[in-house]
Structure 1
Amino acid sequence: MRNEPLAYRMRPTKIEEVAGQEAIIGKETALYRLIKNGHVPSMLLYGEPGIGKTSLAHAIAGSSDLPFITLNATVSGKKDVEDVVAESRITGKVLLFLDEIHRFNKLQQDTLLPHVESGAIVLIGATTENPYHDVNPAIRSRCGEIRQLTRLEPEDLLSVLNRALEDKSRGLGKTAIEITEKQLLTIAEGVNGDARKALNVLESIVVASDEIDGITIVEDSLLENLLGRIGLFGDNKGSHFYNLLSALQKSVRGSDVNASMYYLAHLLETGDLVAVSRRLLVMAYEDVGLASPEVGPHVLAATEAAVRLGMPEARIPLANAVIEMCLAPKSNSAYKAFDAAVQAINDGKTGDIPMHLRDAHYSGAAALGHVGYKYPHHTPLGEFGGWVNQQYLPDKVEGTEFYKPVISGQEKKMAAIYEKLKEFRKKK
């Protein structure tokens, strides 16, 4: 058996061997037909680790007649790119797979530009980060395909695992292995759609299992032990982390407690407690807001307790906070009102501050006309406190309504007061 890991040896050698990703490289897709007809376009492949970006690039290379060169941007530099350019001048068009392309700085990426544009280099760039954020726009514009890969389904992973067990040249086909379909399914379902992890688990369990009469016997207990040590959550630095934060906020906004718990658990496993706490506090005021104004202070207390406690205890106050937000009446009216006011200002809808609202706490203010302000507390209005009918907005925007009440939870009472005050103003 060769020394390379099983996941490395079992990379597909042509596009027909690619597992999953039917929407990208399935037989009915334009990309599949382009490659089968001898044309490989420059492209960017985006997705989490282990979902097949490198494998797809190798499969495309195996299905084309182009010289294939691989570089990793974490260890390669401008000189390496220049060597690829020199190679293209000798051999003609080359296919360059540049892994972690987002790690290249602008100068390094710019070195590629004229050669990708001329067609001397066909570029397949792979990145775990959103290419619209982290890849030079000039590179993006020269890539005809920008594709986001998805995690593999268990049935796709079963295909990968069975191929590895049967392949006698690259896989484990020369080894007699007793492993059940249920055990294979356990691996497929336990690696979170990551083909590399699935093959790593398979190889590890085969090596760790006992051999009886020339047959390697896979035991359930050993499989469970290995799967329990596999990390599934990624890191807290990349796009996936922000996708998880987005999914958590949208699940809370949608009042789905179970989805919210799932994404909260996923996020806390990454270890960035401060970032998660900050997002929860934003959500309390952005999505729950005036409908349940008590939620903001509750979430603040929960996040402060979580940071003080640290993990794993931090999960307790945060779980309370998330469920309270999920099931609370919701309103985004406050920040929407603010955004509307900002938009009005940016649109030029401004005017002079009414004279009676200007600062009058100095000698000479009256001479400037800063007079006429009526103190609301001097005019009680039922149980509301004090109110007086006077103009507050500048003349040019007088009558503009930025606030649109949401009839939800406690904001219903605020909305009723707001409407009543509007009626009073009309009697001016």
Structure 2
Amino acid sequence: MNIPLAEKIRPKTLDEIVGQTHLMGEGKPLRRIIESGTIPNLIFYGPSGVGKTTIARFIAENANMTMYKLNGTSASVADIKNIIAETEMLSGMNGILLYLDEIQYLNKKQQQSLLEYIENGSITLISSTTENPYFYVYNAIISRSTVFEFKPVTPQQIQPAIRRAFDLMAEDIGVSLTLEDGVIEHIARGCGGDVRKSINTVELCVLSAERDEENGRTVKMETVRQLTQRSNMRYDREGDEHYDILSALQKSIRGSDENAALHYAARLIEAGDIISLCRRLLVIASEDVGLAYPMAAVITKACVDSALQLGLPEARIPLAEAIIMLATSPKSNSAESAIDAALAVVRSSGALDFPRHLQNKHFDGAEAQVRGQHYLYPHDYPNHWVQQQYLPDALIGQVYYHYGDNKSEQAAKAYWQKIKGGR
């Protein structure tokens, strides 16, 4: 059987594991748990290719327990029941360790079938997932497990694994390899923190390398560039990474850091997702710039319309214009705060009566104590304003909107203070 290089190179010791030093470094929590020999229920959460499966397998294979492996994409209730049945057999006397990859694909019923056996300790569960377990894993399983978050591996941490992969590949196919300068560093940078992807790239580089007359092969930078192009984009439109990038974009613009905002926007553009980028920019224009620069919403809409009409690659230009404009504009969230405050009162107080003079014109009933609408038309008065009640009686004096401390809103505040006589 042709075993993939990424499978052959899996670490045999804890010190060979790449990255995750916040979990696996000397004295770190997960390493201490593994070295203790007593394994609790564990959930590993993080992007693909960062060591979740490697560490889970390492724990399982070195535990003094009967081990079973299931994958959430293909496991059935029958598979789980078969493993549970083993708990009463001789093979299950020391306990059963179930390694469950991609647990997020198991439905609630499948996950619930494990609960009793996790609870009494006859099954120890080690599961891995690329999705946030607090959204996708049954709460009762989470409450009985320890969740560890795995992070993308840095290029510097990946380089030793790439070197080992080249050595192993050369040994397997019986050739001498020559690497042009920068090959290892380029692969490490170009695979977006995904160790598995970098090892797969090594395999492709060797297989496609130019042969010389002495049964040697040379891996050239041009080949590496072709094989790693766009591979550094870690992006899933339905996953956490998608929302993390959009969140980072908005928070960078809100924080007036145009360079960081351009970085996250570039990641969305490179992934071809200008729809999500456009929608988020429209939100930011009103939520974060708002009344400090009201034209921001108009300009952003124009840039978004242009981008959608142009398509990529030209769309990047009006989108960059909107991003830089929003990031460098004064900021105000006064409109958002005002409408949220109004919504909170409406939800708590319900539908209150209107002041009579604000109602649509209609005849008064016989029971009306005051007849006639008596509405004062502001345009008939100086400065187009006249004092009269607008809020329902129960809310007289209620304030939702507070002027922001930016030039635009302070100018409006000064104007109305003058017109309303300091009210």
Same fold (TM over 0.5): yes
The answer to whether the Cα contact below 8 Å between 2:189 and 2:232 also exists between their aligned partners in 1 is: no
In the alignment, the residues of structure 2 paired with residue 85 and residue 418 of structure 1 have an alpha-carbon distance, to the nearest angstrom, of 74
Q: Deviations over 1:307-338 (max 9, x none)?
A: 23332332222222111111111111001111
Q: How does 1:50-69 map to 2 (within 5 A)?
A: 50-69=49-68
* Alpha-carbon offset, residue 179 of structure 1: 2.5
Letter in 1 for 2:114: L
In the alignment, the residues of structure 2 paired with residue 419 and residue 255 of structure 1 have an alpha-carbon distance, to the nearest angstrom, of 30
In the alignment, the residues of structure 1 paired with residue 171 and residue 189 of structure 2 have an alpha-carbon distance, to the nearest angstrom, of 21
Q: How does 1:13-412 map to 2 (within 5 A)?
A: 13-90=12-89, 91-92=91-92, 93-143=95-145, 145-166=146-167, 175-179=175-179, 182-212=182-212, 213-228=214-229, 230=231, 232-348=233-349, 352-357=353-358, 359-364=359-364, 368=368, 369=370, 371-381=373-383, 386-412=384-410
In the alignment, the residues of structure 1 paired with residue 312 and residue 88 of structure 2 have an alpha-carbon distance, to the nearest angstrom, of 56
Q: Deviations over 1:74-111 (max 9, x none)?
A: 12221222222123333222222222211111111111
In the alignment, the residues of structure 2 paired with residue 289 and residue 333 of structure 1 have an alpha-carbon distance, to the nearest angstrom, of 7
* Alpha-carbon offset, residue 224 of structure 1: 1.9
* Alpha-carbon offset, residue 419 of structure 1: 4.4
* Alpha-carbon offset, residue 195 of structure 1: 0.4
Q: Deviations over 1:139-161 (max 9, x none)?
A: 21121x21221111122101212
* Alpha-carbon offset, residue 215 of structure 1: 3.1
The answer to whether the Cα contact below 8 Å between 2:192 and 2:232 also exists between their aligned partners in 1 is: no
Q: Is structure 2 residue 6 aligned with structure 1 residue 7?
A: yes
CA-atom RMSD in angstroms: 2.5
Residues 11 and 42 of structure 1, relative CA distance in 2, 3 Å threshold = same
Mean Cα deviation higher: 201-210 or 331-340: 201-210
The answer to whether the Cα contact below 8 Å between 1:98 and 1:126 also exists between their aligned partners in 2 is: yes
The answer to whether the Cα contact below 8 Å between 1:295 and 1:325 also exists between their aligned partners in 2 is: yes
Letter in 2 for 1:51: V
* Alpha-carbon offset, residue 418 of structure 1: 4.8
Letter in 2 for 1:113: L
Secondary structure of the 1:45 match is: strand
In the alignment, the residues of structure 2 paired with residue 128 and residue 81 of structure 1 have an alpha-carbon distance, to the nearest angstrom, of 21
Please list every run of 5 or more consecutive structure 1 residues that lacks an aligned counterpart in the other structure: none
In the alignment, the residues of structure 2 paired with residue 229 and residue 333 of structure 1 have an alpha-carbon distance, to the nearest angstrom, of 41
The answer to whether the Cα contact below 8 Å between 2:60 and 2:99 also exists between their aligned partners in 1 is: no
In the alignment, the residues of structure 2 paired with residue 68 and residue 181 of structure 1 have an alpha-carbon distance, to the nearest angstrom, of 44
Q: Deviations over 1:363-394 (max 9, x none)?
A: 1269623633322111122xxxx111122223
Letter in 1 for 2:399: E
Q: Deviations over 1:148-182 (max 9, x none)?
A: 211111221012123334559x9759653223673
The answer to whether the Cα contact below 8 Å between 1:307 and 1:314 also exists between their aligned partners in 2 is: yes
The answer to whether the Cα contact below 8 Å between 1:14 and 1:61 also exists between their aligned partners in 2 is: no
Q: Deviations over 1:3-51 (max 9, x none)?
A: 2111121122343322111112222123222221111121221111212
TM-score, length basis structure 2: 0.90
> Percentage identity across aligned positions?
38
The answer to whether the Cα contact below 8 Å between 1:286 and 1:335 also exists between their aligned partners in 2 is: yes
Q: How many residues of Structure 1 are paired with residues of Structure 2 in the alignment?
A: 417
In the alignment, the residues of structure 2 paired with residue 158 and residue 26 of structure 1 have an alpha-carbon distance, to the nearest angstrom, of 17
Secondary structure of the 2:382 match is: coil
Please list every run of 5 or more consecutive structure 2 residues that lacks an aligned counterpart in the other structure: none
In the alignment, the residues of structure 1 paired with residue 42 and residue 412 of structure 2 have an alpha-carbon distance, to the nearest angstrom, of 54
Residues 306 and 87 of structure 1, relative CA distance in 2, 3 Å threshold = farther
In the alignment, the residues of structure 2 paired with residue 260 and residue 328 of structure 1 have an alpha-carbon distance, to the nearest angstrom, of 13
Letter in 2 for 1:197: K
Letter in 2 for 1:176: S
